[in-house]
Amino acid sequence: MRISFFGLPALFFVILNKNMGLFKKFFCAAQVAADDEGEKKENRKFQTLRDDGVRAMRMGETKFATQCFEEALEINASDIQTIGFLAEARLRMQNYIEALPLLITLAAEQPDNFEIQLLLTQVQGKTGDYEAMHRSVSGLLASHANDARVPYMAAESAHGKGDDFATIAFLTQAIALHEDYVEARHLRAEILAEMGQWREVLEDTAVLTKLFPDNDEFWVMHGNALTNIGNIETAEIAYTQAMANNPFNREAVLSLGRLFEQTSRLDKALVLYDEVIEAQPDFAEIYKQRGGVKHRLHDYIGAADDLKRALEINPDLVANFEGLHSYA
């Protein structure tokens, strides 16, 4: 016999109501168990992704590591350690823009962590946000002014804002704290060169070439400073050393060649340019320089050929030719 729900005795509903707590407890416990199992599964997945990312970083697979950390943070977006791992991965890939918000989070979580605050300041500079960098470094100057990296960061900030005098002052402060601070001496030498303060440049380049005798760029800077104070013989040695370190340093070649021309050693300049063109036949500036030397030696046809070749390689050089008509 089928019994309609609406025909059930009232007593049944009394019994049902009394036992609803039992049913509810049974079904809720099952749901909680399911939720716990799901949470454990997510935690295991999170841990696996993070561990895979760490292993990938150790193996140099930074792109894969980044993907692992990103997926891990989709599961647990507030895990500070994983945020730090992802920030490191993005910094290794020089992806400063995407690393910046992660560093801001880390800095907010660890306001007393000097290294993180310093790293945030540096990355703000890398992204070109010199105002934010200035605010960050101002706080660091108040608390860690005796760490040479802090005035150096202040110098980077000032340089980004176009204040060369403040930049020089901060760099000098950094160098006073750490005499062999290569980056500080390099930047100071570059700015002083732009200001035409060649004797001061020489002070820095002398240290740089002593610290890194195999660095061709430092030898070129040293040669430029020597040339501009009139020490031609030593400048020639500096440019020659730069070329010995790196025969393809074009600035070194051009500088040495111009030095030969300025001292009327045109034959030596011509030999130098011939050797360089043989090794670097697409070097437009050298054809231009050689053309100028040939013109001074009255080889007008050779000069015209070189200048024509220079323009074929780099048409923009035409703006730099003075008296081009006289070479034809």
Contact assessment for residue 31 and residue 23, using Cβ atoms and an 8 Å cutoff: no
Flag whether 98 is in a domain: yes
In the block, tokens 């890194």 appear at 212
Question: Would you give the DSSP letter of residue 281?
Answer: T
**pLDDT higher than threshold 60 for residue 26:** no
Residue type, 41: K
pLDDT of residue 317: 76
Flag whether 19 is in a domain: no
Contact assessment for residue 46 and residue 76, using Cβ atoms and an 8 Å cutoff: yes
% pLDDT > 90, the chain: 82
Q: What is the mean pLDDT of residues 146-160?
A: 96
Contact assessment for residue 326 and residue 291, using Cβ atoms and an 8 Å cutoff: no
How buried is residue 279: exposed, middle or buried, by Cβ count under 10 Å (0-12/13-18/19+)? exposed
CA 226 to chain centroid = 30
% pLDDT > 70, the chain: 85
Flag whether 54 is in a domain: yes
**pLDDT higher than threshold 60 for residue 118:** yes
Q: Please state at what angle helix 164-177 crosses helix 149-160, rounded to 10 degrees.
A: 170
CA distance from start to end of the chain? 119
Flag whether 174 is in a domain: no
pTM above 0.85, yes or no: no
Contact assessment for residue 294 and residue 302, using Cβ atoms and an 8 Å cutoff: yes
Interatomic CA distance for residues 219 and 35, integer angstroms: 67
- DSSP track, 166-193: HHHHHHHHHHHH-TT-HHHHHHHHHHHH
pLDDT in tens, 270-327: 999 999 999 999 999 999 999 999 999 999 999 999 999 999 999 887 655 554 444 4
pLDDT in tens, 1-18: 443 433 434 433 333 344
Flag whether 250 is in a domain: no
Residue 279 phi, psi dihedral angles, 5° rounding:
-85, -30
pLDDT in tens, 37-82: 667 788 899 999 999 999 999 999 999 999 999 999 999 999 999 9
Number of domains in the chain: 1
Interatomic CA distance for residues 317 and 312, integer angstroms: 10
Length of the chain, in residues: 328
Flag whether 99 is in a domain: yes
Residue type, 208: L
CATH number, residue 74: 1.25.40.10
Structure tokens at 45: 């997945």
Q: Which residues of 220-259 are buried (b: 16+ CB within 10 A; e: fewer)?
A: bbbbbbbbbeebeeebbebbebbbebbeebebbbbbbbeb
101 lies in which domain range? 46-106
Flag whether 55 is in a domain: yes
Interatomic CA distance for residues 228 and 208, integer angstroms: 18
Flag whether 178 is in a domain: no
Sign of CA dihedral 20, 25, 28, 30: negative
pLDDT of residue 11: 36
Structure tokens at 205: 């380049």
pLDDT of residue 316: 83
Structure tokens at 93: 């890939």
Helix (H, G, I), strand (E, B) or coil at 114: helix
Interatomic CA distance for residues 28 and 181, integer angstroms: 66
